[in-house]
Amino acid sequence: MRNRTKGAVSQNVKKLEQKELLTRYRCEADGRLIHLYATEEGIL
């Protein structure tokens, strides 16, 4: 990605989540961090 705003990235992540191509997990140790993982469908 080139020069994307935080808002644009958030919108793209939300769309990918809705399509079940990735999942989002908040870090238990540091609540500010969010980990993104590709789903099985997102890998294919």
Q: What is the pLDDT of residues 29-44, one digit of tens each?
A: 999 999 999 999 999 8
Residue 1: pLDDT over 70: no
pTM of this structure: 0.76
Q: CA dist 32 to 17, 21, 29, 43, Å?
A: 19, 22, 9, 26
Contact 13/24 with Cβ under 8 angstroms? Answer: yes
Residue 24: pLDDT over 90: yes
Domains of the chain, by residue range, sit at 6-43
Q: What percent of the chain has pLDDT over 70?
A: 98
